[in-house]
Structure 1
Amino acid sequence: MAELGDLARIRSKNAGPFWLTIDLFCEPGSYARVAAIPTAAFAARLGSAGVKRFDLPDLQVVKLSLPRPEVQGSLRDRDMHGAGFAHLLTGMVVE
């Protein structure tokens, strides 16, 4: 077993006022393990039922998009650029 942060570089970013994007740039040889993680596991870890997933095997990347918990720039928005979401996946255990 390994943590996702050991298998991929994880970057989260703002994707507009309503969406966040998380990119998992897989280390050489780890794409198959990362791609085998069910979308439901990512959704549970991120606390969002609306996770969209895009697998890009030629680039060795798994891309996740999810609705922002608050509209960007609203009074309750605590993470304007979505940078904190990458940390939520770093310690995820991968078999």
Structure 2
Amino acid sequence: MVKLKDIAKACKSKNAGPFHITLDIMFDNAALFERVRETGVITPALIARLYNVAPASIQFTEYPPALAWKATLPRRIPSGAIGDTDVYGAQQHAPLLDIEIPIDMPR
């Protein structure tokens, strides 16, 4: 078992307008991307659970040519509204980092 933060090239987030966040998970190794993809761990259901949103509210794209996944989901608080602590949405990727992927990696 390995954590996503230890194998992905990047896990990031950003605003997709004032009411949505986009999450990106990217790899720089096609073979590793395929291994992760084959586990079936990264899904809209996982994103929904991590971010406490309805699965139907997530736009989810698996994009093998870019070795990436993208998910767009509603923000809990609109960007810049009272109570918003991340106006750019740049810190919302943190829950992705500890996703456990059931593969073995050489040490």
TM-score, reference length from structure 1 = 0.88
How far is the alpha carbon of 1:89 from its aligned partner? 0.8
How far is the alpha carbon of 1:15 from its aligned partner? 0.9
Higher strand share: 1
Number of corresponding residues: 95
Does residue 72 (structure 1) correspond to residue 79 (structure 2)? The answer is yes
Aligned Cα root-mean-square deviation (Å):
1.5
Tell me if structure 2 keeps the 8 A contact 1:15–1:21: yes
3-state DSSP of counterpart to 1:85: coil
Percent sequence identity over matched residues? 28
Unpaired runs of 5+ residues, structure 1, are: none
> Runs in 1 of length 4+ with deviation above 3 angstroms?
none
Tell me if structure 2 keeps the 8 A contact 1:26–1:34: no
How far is the alpha carbon of 1:71 from its aligned partner? 1.1
Greater radius of gyration (CA): 2
TM-score, reference length from structure 2 = 0.79
CA–CA distance in structure 1, aligned partners of residues 37 and 98 of structure 2 = 13
Higher helix share: 2
CA–CA distance in structure 1, aligned partners of residues 72 and 50 of structure 2 = 13
How far is the alpha carbon of 1:13 from its aligned partner? 0.7
After TM superposition, the structure 1 stretch with the greater mean CA deviation from structure 2, 17-26 or 27-36, is 27-36
Letter in 2 for 1:47: N
